[in-house]
Amino acid sequence: MCGLIRGGLLVLDWQGTLWDPVKHRPIEGAAGALARLGEHWRIVVASNGDASDIEAQLEEVGLRELCRSVYTPRVVGAAKPATAFYRALLRREGVPPDQAAMLGDDYRRDVAGAKAQGLRAIWFNPSRRGPPLRHPVHDSEVADLRALPHVLAAAFLPDLARCLGLLVEAGLPPRAIRHALAVSAVAHRLALMQRDRGLAVDPLLAHRGGLLHDLDKVSTATRPAEHGREGGRALRAQGLEVLARIAERHVFDATCGAQCADWTWEEGDVFYADKVVREDELVGLEPRMADLAHRYPAYAETLARWRPALDRMEARLATSVGMERAAMLQKLHEVLP
């Protein structure tokens, strides 16, 4: 997986990310996180607010010495999320985009704006809400600033653009890429619903796993029994172990679901999403299984053996989101056009 080199640039939004405008004090955990990160990162503040006000607040709460500079529209001549804002900031700091990360709570200005300029984007999301996009573009997410040093020390999943690039490099046709996009959207929504219920699940991992689950679709076109293995091998070679497991476990095999007991939620979410999405349409288990039996008659017996396990999995997932099966499917329908 991809990470940032220690000593890179960390860009922090101010209002709502470091400073609580309602309580008029720093966000809980801000001082400790900045103190730890300041040992290895160059830290700057980027805001559309007034530089003098921010400087005064930083000084007042003892954070000024931890922040190298404060960038605002008056300083750089443009406001977030304009390209000129991020380009001017990076130019002044002398850092390339791929060695900079942006942390912010505003998805459009901070997350999407930074990603558009090649920075890593970490979404500060204390309310744990879902992103405003069907396909999330952020690289990581934190609900508590005390977790930020850990997030920056870990490797990131491949981002949305890189995942799509891998699919193109693997030779997947547009039809297969549309399917991958639909599966990833459904798996992501399912994971968000589970997280809302308090389960330990990573919606971003479910999304990226859904995107790459069919990475070997072309290479194993004449060897369907190996479907998933080559994709897993290719992902593992890039250090993407968790994504490799998702690719390998989204296929049918002779165990008829016995291995599902040790699946992660993300693995199960992608597996299920793939079994209810036909091409880029969510159709449910019955139509999808009928379609697969028609397309792969040699595997009709395997599909029939899997059907009870699929019903059990759907029931388990419905329980995980606190809904009846039909209601869960209806909710998942919302993510596809």
Looking at the fold, whether 315 and 187 belong to one and the same domain comes out as yes
Looking at the fold, whether 98 and 218 belong to one and the same domain comes out as no
Query: Which phi and psi (to 5°) does residue 12 adopt?
Result: -120, 130
Q: Which pLDDT band, with edges at 50, 70 and 90, does 7 fall under?
A: low
Q: Which pLDDT does position 304 carry in this prediction? A: 85
In a domain, 130, yes or no: yes
User: Residue 276: which CATH number?
Assistant: 1.10.3210
- In angstroms, the first-to-last Cα distance of the chain is 31
Looking at the fold, whether 180 and 305 belong to one and the same domain comes out as yes
Encode pLDDT of 53-112 as tens digits: 999 999 988 888 889 999 999 999 999 999 999 999 999 999 999 999 999 999 999 999
Q: Which of 96, 58, 88, 94 is nearest to 71 (CA)?
A: 88
Q: Which pLDDT band, with edges at 50, 70 and 90, does 298 fall under?
A: confident
In a domain, 308, yes or no: yes
In a domain, 3, yes or no: no
Position 337 pLDDT exceeds 60: yes
Q: Which of 137, 20, 14, 115 is nearest to 73 (CA)?
A: 14
Rounded to the nearest 10 degrees, how much is the dihedral formed by the CA atoms of 140, 150, 8, 143? 40
Q: Which pLDDT does position 219 carry in this prediction? A: 80
Q: Which of 153, 196, 178 is nearest to 36 (CA)?
A: 153
Q: Which pLDDT band, with edges at 50, 70 and 90, does 3 fall under?
A: low
Distances in whole angstroms, Cα of residue 69 to Cα of each of 43, 46, 135, 144: 8, 9, 33, 23
Looking at the fold, whether 128 and 192 belong to one and the same domain comes out as no
Q: Which pLDDT band, with edges at 50, 70 and 90, does 299 fall under?
A: confident
* 246 in Cβ contact with 266 (< 8 Å): yes
- Per-residue 3-state assignment (H helix, E strand, C coil) for the chain: CECCCCCCEEEECCECCCEECCCCEECCCHHHHHHHHCCCCEEEEECCCCHHHHHHHHHHCCCHHHCCEEECHHHHCCCCCCHHHHHHHHHHHCCCHHHEEEEECCHHHHHHHHHHCCCEEEEECCCCCCCCCCCCCCCEEECCHHHHHHHHHCCECCCHHHHHHHHHHCCCCHHHHHHHHHHHHHHHHHHHHHHHCCCCCCHHHHHHHHHHCCCCCCCCCCCHHHCCHHHHHHHHHCCCHHHHHHHHHCCCCCCCCHHHHHCCHHHHHHHHHHHHEECCEECCHHHHHHHHHHHCHHHHHHHHHHHHHHHHHHHHHHHHCCCCHHHHHHHHHCCCC
Whose tokens are 């791929």? That residue is: 98
Environment class of 303 (CB within 10 Å of its CB; exposed 0-12, middle 13-18, buried 19+): middle
Looking at the fold, whether 219 and 311 belong to one and the same domain comes out as yes
In a domain, 4, yes or no: no
Looking at the fold, whether 229 and 309 belong to one and the same domain comes out as yes
In a domain, 95, yes or no: yes
Looking at the fold, whether 136 and 186 belong to one and the same domain comes out as no
Q: Which pLDDT does position 260 carry in this prediction? A: 65
Encode pLDDT of 258-294 as tens digits: 456 688 999 999 999 999 999 999 999 999 989 888 8
pTM over 0.75: yes
Domain count, the chain: 2
What is the residue range of 173's domain? 160-333
Dist CA 230 CA 15 (whole Å) = 46
Report, as an integer, the average pLDDT of 20-43: 92
Amino acid at 315: A
Looking at the fold, whether 149 and 169 belong to one and the same domain comes out as no
In a domain, 260, yes or no: yes
Q: Which pLDDT does position 259 carry in this prediction? A: 53
Looking at the fold, whether 274 and 140 belong to one and the same domain comes out as no
Looking at the fold, whether 259 and 136 belong to one and the same domain comes out as no
Q: Which pLDDT does position 225 carry in this prediction? A: 64
In a domain, 245, yes or no: yes
Report, as an integer, the average pLDDT of 319-328: 97
In a domain, 106, yes or no: yes
Dist CA 329 CA 125 (whole Å) = 26
User: Residue 136: which CATH number?
Assistant: 3.40.50.1000
Q: Which of 126, 153, 180 is the endpoint of a domain?
A: 153
Looking at the fold, whether 126 and 216 belong to one and the same domain comes out as no
Q: Which of 234, 199, 41 is nearest to 122 (CA)?
A: 41
Looking at the fold, whether 58 and 198 belong to one and the same domain comes out as no
Q: Which of 111, 134, 153 is the endpoint of a domain?
A: 153
Task: Show the tokens assigned to 15.
Answer: 């209002």
Position 256 pLDDT exceeds 70: no
